[in-house]
Every structure is written in C-alpha cells, then in structure tokens.
Amino acid sequence: MPGMKPISEAHVAEPGLAVVDVAACDDQTAFAVQEMLAGRWATAPADRTIRVPGEPGVRLRCYLDVRQELGSQP
C-alpha cells in the first residue's frame, strides 16, 4: 500500500501475530477501530493515518498479538 512500509516477516512470524489494515472515512473512525482492538489484545498502535491519492478515506495499520488477550489474567 502506498505510504506504508511493507509487512515484515517478523510481524507474522508465529501463529497469533497479525497485521491489521484499517480503511475508514476519517481519522476518528480509524483510531476508534484501533482502540477497540487494543482494548482486547496486545497492540503496537499506529500514531497517524495516511491518505492514498485517488482513494477515499484514510488508512491505518496496527500490529496485534492475539496470544496476549488483555483482561484474561487471573
């Protein structure tokens, strides 16, 4: 995707690691989706969105580790 670095092997090297690309109409919506994900799993959040020329809305990429579900600790 233009404006984003390529996904590295390290980001998906093991089961449970995921890269999530969010497309939304605006920054507020994209960050709300990221916040929802971060409320459930360990997340390396994005600090900004990007706009791709000729495409509607904004894009955001975050990295998840779904093996680390938040709030599941005894």
pLDDT of res. 74: 47
Return the number of other C-beta atoms located less than 10 Å from residue 14's C-beta: 8
Query: What's the pTM value of the predicted model, to 2 decimals?
Result: 0.78
The pLDDT-based confidence of 51 (bands split at 50, 70, 90) is: very high
Which residues on adjacent β-strands are paired with residue 63?
19, 44
Spatial CA neighbour of 57 closest among 28, 19, 17 = 28
Tokens describing residue 2: 């233009």
User: pLDDT averaged over the chain?
Assistant: 86
